Structure 1
């Protein structure tokens, strides 16, 4: 059955403008399509899945590769659109931004691209590889599979300062987060749902400086934090020596893709201000409570990922031969 959506599609060149499009389920969001490579490279999704899954095992370190790919997808799409600009090497590129310091999974994308170029040269974009790999990471973490649309092209511009200015940070509250996501055509509810990706994520000590030791310039700890939880985080992240190698679990229940993140918020154990504010704010608390239903969360998350995957879709870009650099000649 064909049905119609009104969806905010953000087109990006050197700047972002909004356009409203009426699209069908077959045509997809902003020109994207389900089964996009069915004819041009039938094994594309299988190849990406095989490469990604080969890196995921049951140990905690390997699971971080899975959550890292999901984070990479968000950090790519939220900065001038889903155009694989986060993959580009070079001084001053997005991957050099401080906010992207802990991104992982680049090698997985490289390997998938290498294998795809061997069988379907010049066909599968790096931007689409990120999208498919992120979906496969969710499944590897016991999440529910959803269809990913393809057809994105790769961008040629990557600027660190744009990542710093466009990505949300852990000190934001609901108002700031809502405004940030609205600039990308995403609703407040979608922001809360996409925050559920933190259920399999890990934070790092540098991001906790303000909340633990100088909340809103007071020189004190965030008073809303339970004392035992604050003490635990301070033990992991002592003020004098912030160790970047320390991982702070953002879901206190399980390392898998489930509702543990929202249950952690109910227990007032959200690691960052941006997390806990979702439960503490009366406007978003009802949805947090609702999303503790795993079946509902999984369905809503898949829908939100499809919407996020349409941000700033670049239909006039290129298909990079190497995901780390722009093509020097047309390809």
Structure 2
């Protein structure tokens, strides 16, 4: 069974790579800034590294940022735009961080290569670098994304994963972005780093008559549940967070999948991955083989950062990531 599953994963990945190369040829390209801004990738990596050295939570924030940007309007930095009723206004985005890293890299790039590197490319490359800095694989991604000019709070809720989603709801949303069941399992591995507010998994518990929390979701490991209830008791401040991964919270590894099999997935949307036969097999494969996870991560991340990209004459290259040029 294990050999058959890995063969299937490799076959799907190979088919994807052929399709992706064809796609890239028409819009994005590798080394897009080789002539116009040869130091672009180094500047972005140095910025991410500098911020991460003083704040170890930065990689997780940047990874979450790229997800929330690409799933709404495509990978076009629409999440960076500020103002009334923009994407940042939606409650689901108020806890997204890492904006200062993107803005800092953009300021440096504007000094060396004015009006050349898009905020959308900075977000994608910063997330890519964040994964490597946290211990994950180093991968190449194509560039040439342009920045969008539309950012509406009303577009957020229908396009991002809620932590209480069922398997069917997640599959449907990922499919709408051109992402497969394999991509869903692989990209869920992003939860191997980062933090979450207590409210994001509150639905897995209930209060008794005395206001004390009790475990409602019996799929969650009882000992892990006790730890969560201690860290997030009833009436806890909204700002309190816990680690997505209770084992190696700052390291991008395959521990997320091992936690799932031990019934220690933080969100309901994590736990459902082992309640489905097709996804459980993949979870087991990645839990047993970190290299396999990393190989698949590289390909699924390429697909994620290519969702709805704008290129050519569509969009613009913003001077400031917080506002359009007009």
Instruction: Specify whether residues 84 and 308 from structure 1 end up closer, same or farther in structure 2 by C-alpha distance, changes over 3 A only.
Output: same
Superposition deviation, residue 246 in structure 1: 2.1
Aligned to 1:172: 165
Matches of 1:251 and 1:236 in 2, distance apart? 14
Q: 1:243 aligns with which of 201, 219, 237?
A: 237
Matches of 1:29 and 1:192 in 2, distance apart? 27
Superposition deviation, residue 23 in structure 1: 6.1
Aligned to 2:315: 317
Instruction: Specify whether residues 252 and 135 from structure 1 end up closer, same or farther in structure 2 by C-alpha distance, changes over 3 A only.
Output: same
Q: Is the deviation greater in 189-198 or in 96-105?
A: 96-105
2:30 aligned with 1:37: no
Superposition deviation, residue 221 in structure 1: 1.0
Q: Any idea what the Cα deviations from partners look like across 1:164-215, whole Å, max 9, x if unmatched?
A: 111011001211111110000000110110000000121111112212128x
What secondary structure, in the 3-state scheme, does the structure 2 residue paired with 1:55 have? helix
Q: Any idea what the Cα deviations from partners look like across 1:215-269, whole Å, max 9, x if unmatched?
A: xxxx971122222222221222122x13233222121221200001111101000
Instruction: Specify whether residues 320 and 7 from structure 1 end up closer, same or farther in structure 2 by C-alpha distance, changes over 3 A only.
Output: farther
Aligned to 2:210: none
Q: 2:90 aligns with which of 91, 97, 116?
A: 97
2:73 aligned with 1:80: yes
2:263 aligned with 1:265: no
Q: 1:113 aligns with which of 103, 106, 115?
A: 106
What secondary structure, in the 3-state scheme, does the structure 2 residue paired with 1:150 have? coil
Superposed, which structure 2 residues align to 1:276-287 within 5 Å? 276-287=271-282
Instruction: Specify whether residues 166 and 284 from structure 1 end up closer, same or farther in structure 2 by C-alpha distance, changes over 3 A only.
Output: same
Superposed, which structure 2 residues align to 1:167-246 within 5 Å? 167-213=160-206, 221-239=216-234, 241-246=235-240
What 5-or-longer segments of structure 1 have no aligned partner?
Answer: 9-20
2:64 aligned with 1:71: yes
Matches of 2:162 and 2:19 in 1, distance apart? 32
Superposition deviation, residue 52 in structure 1: 0.9
2:121 aligned with 1:128: yes
Q: Report if the CA contact (8 A) 1:199-1:258 is conserved.
A: yes
Matches of 2:88 and 2:25 in 1, distance apart? 27
Instruction: Specify whether residues 220 and 257 from structure 1 end up closer, same or farther in structure 2 by C-alpha distance, changes over 3 A only.
Output: closer
Superposition deviation, residue 115 in structure 1: 0.5
The alignment's TM-score, normalised by the length of structure 1, stands at: 0.87
What 5-or-longer segments of structure 2 have no aligned partner?
Answer: 1-13, 208-213
What secondary structure, in the 3-state scheme, does the structure 2 residue paired with 1:28 have? helix
Instruction: Specify whether residues 229 and 23 from structure 1 end up closer, same or farther in structure 2 by C-alpha distance, changes over 3 A only.
Output: closer
Matches of 1:68 and 1:82 in 2, distance apart? 16
Aligned to 1:253: 247
The alignment's TM-score, normalised by the length of structure 2, stands at: 0.88
Q: How many residues align?
A: 303
CA RMSD, 1 decimal: 2.0
Q: Report if the CA contact (8 A) 2:65-2:98 is conserved.
A: yes
What secondary structure, in the 3-state scheme, does the structure 2 residue paired with 1:213 have? strand
Instruction: Specify whether residues 224 and 29 from structure 1 end up closer, same or farther in structure 2 by C-alpha distance, changes over 3 A only.
Output: farther
